[in-house]
Amino acid sequence: MKSINNYILFIGLGLLALGIFISFVMGKSKNSQTVEDSLAKARKAKEEKRQARKQEEEQVNKEAEEIINSLVKNKI
């Protein structure tokens, strides 16, 4: 009878350890997915800001070239 109780105890502990491991793996994968989603959003926002900055820089350069060209034409 004592050996049967030992087996039941070991099986119960094994199942408990298995449950904890599965819970850990599921939680880790959920957290990884959350982190990946956050990183994707951050990368997208960063790329949009970079594009906006690039367009603004091109606009400023274009305006500067127009001003320089108009000044050069006025002097000639």
Neighbours of 74 (CB within 10 A): 7
pLDDT tens figures, 37-65:
899 999 999 999 999 999 999 999 999 99
Question: Taken in order 47, 49, 54, 58, is the CA torsion positive or negative?
Answer: positive
pLDDT of residue 43: 94
Neighbours of 49 (CB within 10 A): 10
pLDDT of residue 11: 93
pLDDT of residue 76: 61
Alpha-carbon radius of gyration of the chain: 33
Does the pTM surpass 0.85? The reply is no
pLDDT tens figures, 8-44:
999 999 999 999 999 988 888 888 888 888 999 999 9
Mean pLDDT score of the chain = 89
User: Any alpha helices (H) in the chain, and if so which ranges?
Assistant: 2-75
